[in-house]
Structures are given as structure tokens and as C-alpha cells.
Structure 1
């Protein structure tokens, strides 16, 4: 073999080795790029839009279940979602709540304005929607339905039908689980959120607006049977019960006066909505009854006060007082125990700093505002401004003594009232805001945060309109993004 032939063989061997090296390197790069794409754009993206925390909790539970199948599953707040996310992800699961009369949660308003107003090509995208709502409102689960309609219009494909949930009803939520199980061919555990149920002893009730032309408003005080921790802005979820008189009337109507053994079982069953009885025995029939719902109330006190204080307005319905308001303002007997749990509400918590605070509300919304003022007093922060509305100063001046105390001790820099029925032309809290527009702009420029608590219709919507009128729409959206505009309205 000549030297020239050896040289050629060596060169060919080197070229072959180089070629193999390039092939291996390209295959490795392709695999790395695929892995990186999977990491950047996980198999499932779970997006939540939450107002009170329920949607966020269920989204987190959904993501945890999916990570058992695919660890690339990610979760994101809807206010952080971009058009790039929508165009590059293949499968998105949405867990969204509806706020008030069909509105998107505050955190989703930016998404609505930035993205839902656009037309996109989402033909690559598959989705499913878990919509949380309350059938007591006219536009039940409307934001979830609006989101579904928009996605379909952008040519996205539904993985399964949108699941609408009424007040976290377990049967409704089972449909979401079933859809996920069929989608993934995997058994899912129940997405139950463990709640720390506590016993509270009824201590005191007091009507705060005797003589008012409006429905009676009561201060309710409950003593915990154990040490509890909560923050101002948190919610007490009460398990409604039937009082003894209602149960006895029901037994008489069913000709079961002697069935006293059933009284404990009947306490938490809905006696206002009876299923067909047909030929069922009484004991069998009552197993078909729905359980009574829970009701939510803002906590007006702090743990340091040693009690839980609520502000409850009596609600009237065709069958009498409302479940929650009737139970708390009439049904509870002295020292009687009731079941409840505290729901933390981080979207309405205060920041522990000296920034100025503007508190706006009406009616029973005073509970959330009083809790924040008590917290600010406890921290020693004095730059606070209260704007509050009710009907008549003579009868509806709620928490007048406490407000006067905070004024006298420097914890309320300014108080503005809107007693709507005290003059010929009605005045509301949004009118106070408009009158004080210069001061509002000054406080906002100083870094003030705005907290609104009370009725959604009229008050909260009016306040939102005036804020945008004075500060501008973009500035108000910026305040929301900075968590300087928080609402707990109903």
C-alpha cells in the first residue's frame, strides 16, 4: 500500500468521523431543543382568574394532579398571560370565577382589555374551562362562558364541555374531575380543599340601625372555642342551620310530631326545597334532601379582640328571612355553638407599611373597613381616609363610636359620609369621591392604596366609574396591577 493511498484512507476516516460527529451533535441538539420546548411550553398550562381565592385554589389542585402525569405542567395567573402563551401552548385548562353580575374578576380585567378584544389564530389550541359562579346572580358563570365563546371563535377546540359550578357544589366539581379523567385516562383524587372547621359560641347580637327604613343590620359577636388566627380582610364561612322552631313546624306539616330523633339530622337539611316523596318512608325521604349552604361574611374584628365580629343585614325572601341572615340574627340562641371556617382572602389583605389608605364602602361593607382600621391602629399607621355611605345619619350611622375614637386619636385623617336619604337629591360615596377629586389625586400620588367593601351594584360600580373618570382608565388598571386597588364586593 503506497503512502498516497494511506493518506487518502486517513483523510476519509477523519471525514467519516467528522460526519458522524456532526450527525450525533445534530441529533443531540434536536433532542435538547425538544426537551427545552417541552419545558418552555408544558403539556398543560393551567390558568386561573380568581377574586376571592376559590379559583386559584382549584387551579392549584388541578395542576398538582396533572403533574403526577406530566411534571412539565405549569400554572399561571391570568393577569400574567400573554398572547405568546396562547399561540405557543397546545393545551390550556382555565379555572375562572365570575364576579358579581357576570363580570370578570379584577385580576382578569387587564386580560379582557388586552386579549379578549383581539382576533387570533388559535386553531392549534385545545382547552377546557372550569367556571365558578353563583346561581343567585342572573349571569351565572358568565365570564367562563364568555371565555369559552371567545376561544371557540378563535378556532380553538374544546377538550370537553365547560363545567359550570354553583357555589362550589361538589356534584358540579365531579364533572370537572370526570372530564380530566377521560382526557388523561388517569384516576384523579377528589380536589377537596381541607378546611379547618371551628366551633364558635354565640355571645351577642345588637341591631345597629333601629328605626331605619332599610332592612335591619345586626352586629353579631361569636366566641371561638379554640385559638384562631386570621387577618383583616378575611372571611368567615358559616354553616347555615335550621332553628328549632322551623324544624318543629316542618315535622308538624309532615305529621311527624313525634320524630324527635330526626331533629339533629334535620338541622342542616334544606327544608325550603323538598324533593318528591312518592311512597318513601320519612326516614328514606329526608336522605334525598339537599344540605344547607354556607354563607360568607367579612370579619370586622382582629384575633387580638378575642372574638369574631360580623355585620349582617337581614335578607328577605319568599320563604322568610334568608338562610344566613335569619340564622344569625334570629335563629341562634344564647351560647349555642355553630360550625364555621375562616377563609383567608389574600386579595383583600393590607400591606404592612405606612402607605396612605383610602377605605370606601357602604352598608355591611363597614365590617371589612372596620377590620382594616383596627389593623392600621394596631400597626400604628395613621394616614387613613374613610368614605362611607348609608341611608340616614340618624339611624344608619354604623360604628359611629369607633369612628369618632379613631378621629380623636389621629387614626382617621379624614372621614366623608354619604347619607343618601338625608337630602332631596341622593348622595352616594362615588359623589364624595368626585367632590374630593383633587385630594384623591394627591393621595394616589403619595402612594395610597384603595380598598372598597360593600355592594357591587350601585356602590362599587359607581366608585370604579368615578375613579376612571378622575384618574384615567390606564391609571386605574395600573393600580390594580400594583395591588393598590382592592375590592371585596358582593
Structure 2
């Protein structure tokens, strides 16, 4: 920051307002811009160069990396890419999509985009505006732009990396030049991301070295030094595994308390806990039996040799069926039925199939002869599961709490389960589990403790709001807290009921609205409660309240979003377009945040 003596007071105030809240990469870009202005003046120009000319010159000498991330994976890949290019002396900036000024797109010369796809082919929340702009008629022609796109997705969904595919195609349509093929990474991200990074870094080296000019700067990245990472998790002790649903509930929801003693891990409310699960012995044996394979057979993949059983137990996905595996199995089984599911016009049937069957079901219903080597290569690597943290360290110190729904059901009379929930539910107190912290900076409490907070979290979506209320209580926040919670039945599914009642009594919670959908003839969900409280809700928001939504992305989050749009129209007198802009503005201000999955 410049000292006040270098600038007139009014100019210094403007500069302070300009830089307030900017991330380090944006500040570094401004530094480069002002350096360009200074160079223009030192060269004897009578006036500083036009902003557009300076920006274009600067843009021609830099790589811009834009990422869109729902759970933090795209952010991690983008920052890794920026760190690698920065270490090579390349002028690089990395920006979250909602921090990228789309007006700059027309001046970009080298742009890399790392974009995740969530749910049914939708962009992450931080990229809605960017994707909408790029898809609109307002997007400029881009004949000067060279670009590459890396998509992150989940092949258990039919629309795999759909958003990245759309962006890649749209940039080409706008006249930009693709410098590397679209990368589509499954949950085993590094398998695709690392070769994509290697190739695009080589392109950037050539492009930026050619355009390099005196005074070009490097934006250094300073990632947090962390002993515990996704790749090197901490083996933590489970302190408590307790059911928080009643005996009559059709759900098995658990409250887990995990020790962080000695880990040096810390987190903030809104962050997630990553857990590396282990496949159940019963499922591993069932797969081996169905394929008549030897558990002890050695299998080598990428110069790593393990027994087949070890691969299946700790390193391969068995509970989620993916489209690539289905395609490989259909060919081996010579199954016309499976091959028909993979046709372009069978989207709905494929979606239903992937959503209702697991790997073991396909192996039994459509027999095929797999080798141990072929099976391990075809299966997707096992990845960690992310859970919204249900505690504040201000309240629980060296612990982290989770609210976990155990996924268990029957298919054709046989038990099926989710890998991580089954793993965690089976743990006894004193057992160890591998964990790490995944930061979620988009889902943070307001820095101003006097701001009101509206929290909408049905089911296990309640987890981060338990953390929010604990944090606000410990901080003595003067802002009001309003919670909307829903589940099937009051008597058996009211998660943390005594805690919320105590919070109301102590003044840590100001409002609590409940929606128990099956306790009456007509189903009532949280979005219905929002509409019932529309006038007060709108007043809170217009008064500066922050709105948070956590839970199911495919139904609940969409219904809540529509309810908020309707409230803006009915209470604010806005038309449809204005209501959408109102909600978009709240999101841009960080006052409408979602943690959905």
C-alpha cells in the first residue's frame, strides 16, 4: 500500500476503495497495470496511455487462469497450474470466475479455464454469471484469443463435464483459437489434469516468452504450507458415533466427533472435511466371486504393484457405476441391452440405470470375463468424500464434527450402501480414519457480525449451520440468526432438536421455521415456509442479511432458488428479469451462498 504522502488525500481514498477486498492475484495485476502507466510516462509521453491500450499490452504478456469450483477441486488444480507457470517466470494471474471482469475478455490473449460440472450438467455457483455471459449475445468476438479448457466432472452422471464442453465449443464459435484439446477429468482428477497441465504450460512458455517485454512481472503464489493434505491425510481418532434420528425414522443419520489433537489442522465454519473411505469386505468379496478372480493376484498399474484385493479395497470405486466402465463392460459382455443404453437418444434411460444400479448389479446381470489387470484399469480410482463441517473450533477446540446420512438400501433383495457413509457408520469410538480439510471460501459467515444471517438447510444440510450458530455465539455477534430446517417427521427426524431449542432460549437463534413434510396430508418443504414468511424474509434481505443454502442440489436448492425469485417479485415488485438480477447481485456480493451437492 502506498503511503498517504505520495498521493492527494482524495486519490488515496479512491485507491483504498479500489484495492479493498481484492485477492493477491488481482493486486498483482493492478501493480503490472500501474507499472505500464509509469513506463509510458518515463518514456516521455505527454499523457498516460489509454487504459484499453495498456490493458491490451499487459494482457498480451500474461496468462489468465479462470476457474469455477463447487467443492474446491477446480480451485486446487487452477492454483497448482498458476504456481507451476509462475515458477517458470511466466506472468500469470488466477481468478475465480465470479471475480473475473468479463469486460476484460476482449483483451485477453492467453486464457486457460478450469471448470467443474455439478449435478445434472450445471455450472458451479461461482461461475453462473461467467457462463451466462459467455453464452449470451453480449460475448465479444475473440479472434485474438488463444485458449484451453479443462473440465472436472463425475462420470456417474450422464452429462460428464458438460459445462466445460459448452465453454470450449463457445470460445471456438467466438473465433478464439484452441491451443490444446479439451481435457475431461473424472474424479481421479490428476490422471487427466497433470498431462493437460504439462501440455498447456509448454504452450504458455512459447507464447509468453515470445511476447515478453522489459518490465514484465511474475505473480508469485504463496500456497499455504500444510503438512496434512488430500494426498497426505491425517489419521484421526473417532471420539463419538451417535445416531441423531429416532428409532421410528426411515433414515439413519449420525453425529460424528473426530479428534484433531496433534494434527495442527484448523478450519472455519463453511469448510468441508475430506474422508478417505475403505470399501467393505463383503462388497469386495462379492465382486471377486462374481468375476471368479483371485484376491491375491498381483496387479501393476503405473509401476505400482498391489494385490487385487488391496486395489479393490482401498483404491478403486465399487459403489458408483460410471458410464466409461459401463461402455467397457458392454463390449466385453457383448450385451445389446447395455450398448443401447449408451446411445445418444437413451439419455433418460442411462440416467435411471446409473442412478439405481451399482457395479455388482451389472456384473451379476450381464456376465463378462474380466482379467484382474483389465478390471483395475477400467474401474475409477476411489476418491475422498467431502462432508460439510458441523462445528466451530471456537466451541469444540481440537475436534471436528460431522452430520452423516448413512446411505443404505435394498436392490433386488440384496443390501447396497454408499462407500463413505458405510465406512464411517461402521467405525467404533477409538477407530482411526484418514481426513483432511477442504476450504470453502465462498461459504463464509459475514465479516460484519452485526449482519443478519438466514440459513436454509433441510436434512443433513443443517450441518454447516450448527457451525455457524456456534461461531456467532462465541463471537458475540449482534446480528440475528434465522434457521429454516426440514425433514420427514418431527418426532424422529428433528436433528439436534435440543440444541436448537437451547439456542432459541439463549438468544443464539432468533427465528426457527420447521417443515416436516410427512406429518400432514400435504407435503410441506422448506421452500413453502420461505413463501409463508415472504414479507419478513424480504425485509431481512433488503436490510443486509446474508442468505445461505445447504443440501440437495438437484431438487431442494432449485426449489429454494425459485422461491426466492418469487419473493422478490411479490414483495419487491420486481419483474422476472429484475428478480433474477436481484438474486445475481446478492450472489456477487457474497450475500447469497450455496453449499449444495
Determine the structure 1 residue equivalent to 2:271: 234
Determine the structure 2 residue equivalent to 1:203: 239
Q: Of the candidates 443, 450, 464, which is equivalent to residue 348 of structure 1?
A: 443
Q: How many residues align?
A: 456
Determine the structure 2 residue equivalent to 1:141: 161
Distance 1:271 1:174, change over 3 A: closer
- CA distance, structure 1, for counterparts of residue 101 and residue 201 of structure 2: 28
Report how far residue 67 of structure 1 moved: 3.1
- CA distance, structure 2, for counterparts of residue 289 and residue 434 of structure 1: 45
Q: SS where residue 457 of structure 1 aligns?
A: coil
Contact 1:49-1:78 at 8 Å conserved across structures: yes
- CA distance, structure 1, for counterparts of residue 296 and residue 105 of structure 2: 63
- CA distance, structure 1, for counterparts of residue 416 and residue 248 of structure 2: 20
Determine the structure 1 residue equivalent to 2:563: 466
Determine the structure 1 residue equivalent to 2:407: 315
1:199-278 to 2 correspondences below 5 Å:
199-212=235-248, 214-227=250-263, 228-243=265-280, 267-270=313-316, 272=318, 278=371
Contact 2:551-2:557 at 8 Å conserved across structures: yes
- CA distance, structure 2, for counterparts of residue 55 and residue 255 of structure 1: 37
Report how far residue 430 of structure 1 moved: 0.8
Determine the structure 1 residue equivalent to 2:345: none
Report how far residue 168 of structure 1 moved: 4.7
Distance 1:290 1:146, change over 3 A: closer
Determine the structure 1 residue equivalent to 2:184: 164
Distance 1:149 1:248, change over 3 A: closer
Distance 1:349 1:258, change over 3 A: same
- CA distance, structure 2, for counterparts of residue 47 and residue 477 of structure 1: 19
Contact 2:85-2:201 at 8 Å conserved across structures: no
Report how far residue 101 of structure 1 moved: 2.0
Q: SS where residue 341 of structure 1 aligns?
A: strand
Q: Spell out, residue by residue over 1:288-335, the C-alpha distance to the aligned partner (whole angstroms, 9 max, x if none).
A: 9764321111111223414222111122476721110110112x2342
Contact 2:187-2:381 at 8 Å conserved across structures: no
Contact 2:316-2:376 at 8 Å conserved across structures: no
Distance 1:180 1:435, change over 3 A: same
Q: SS where residue 146 of structure 1 aligns?
A: helix
Q: SS where residue 386 of structure 1 aligns?
A: strand
Determine the structure 1 residue equivalent to 2:495: 398
Determine the structure 2 residue equivalent to 1:488: 595
- CA distance, structure 1, for counterparts of residue 445 and residue 388 of structure 2: 14
Determine the structure 2 residue equivalent to 1:447: 544
- CA distance, structure 1, for counterparts of residue 377 and residue 559 of structure 2: 46
Determine the structure 2 residue equivalent to 1:55: 74
Instruction: State TM-score, norm by structure 2.
Output: 0.69
Distance 1:124 1:71, change over 3 A: same
Determine the structure 1 residue equivalent to 2:38: none
Contact 1:198-1:225 at 8 Å conserved across structures: no
Distance 1:93 1:248, change over 3 A: closer
Determine the structure 1 residue equivalent to 2:147: 127
Contact 1:239-1:339 at 8 Å conserved across structures: yes
1:107 is aligned to 2:100: no
Determine the structure 1 residue equivalent to 2:113: 94
- CA distance, structure 2, for counterparts of residue 403 and residue 122 of structure 1: 54
1:329-368 to 2 correspondences below 5 Å:
329-330=425-426, 332-352=427-447, 353-368=449-464
Q: SS where residue 242 of structure 1 aligns?
A: coil
Q: Spell out, residue by residue over 1:37-80, the C-alpha distance to the aligned partner (whole angstroms, 9 max, x if none).
A: 53244342211222333222322222232234553333333224
Contact 1:233-1:349 at 8 Å conserved across structures: yes
1:389 is aligned to 2:425: no
Contact 1:163-1:175 at 8 Å conserved across structures: no
- CA distance, structure 1, for counterparts of residue 439 and residue 372 of structure 2: 45
Determine the structure 2 residue equivalent to 1:74: 93
Determine the structure 2 residue equivalent to 1:8: none
Contact 1:42-1:89 at 8 Å conserved across structures: no
Report how far residue 265 of structure 1 moved: 7.0
Determine the structure 2 residue equivalent to 1:372: 468
For the aligned residue pairs, the C-alpha RMSD in angstroms reads 3.4
- CA distance, structure 2, for counterparts of residue 300 and residue 150 of structure 1: 40
Determine the structure 1 residue equivalent to 2:382: 292
Question: Which segment is superposed worse, 321-330 or 302-311?
Answer: 302-311
Report how far residue 84 of structure 1 moved: 3.8
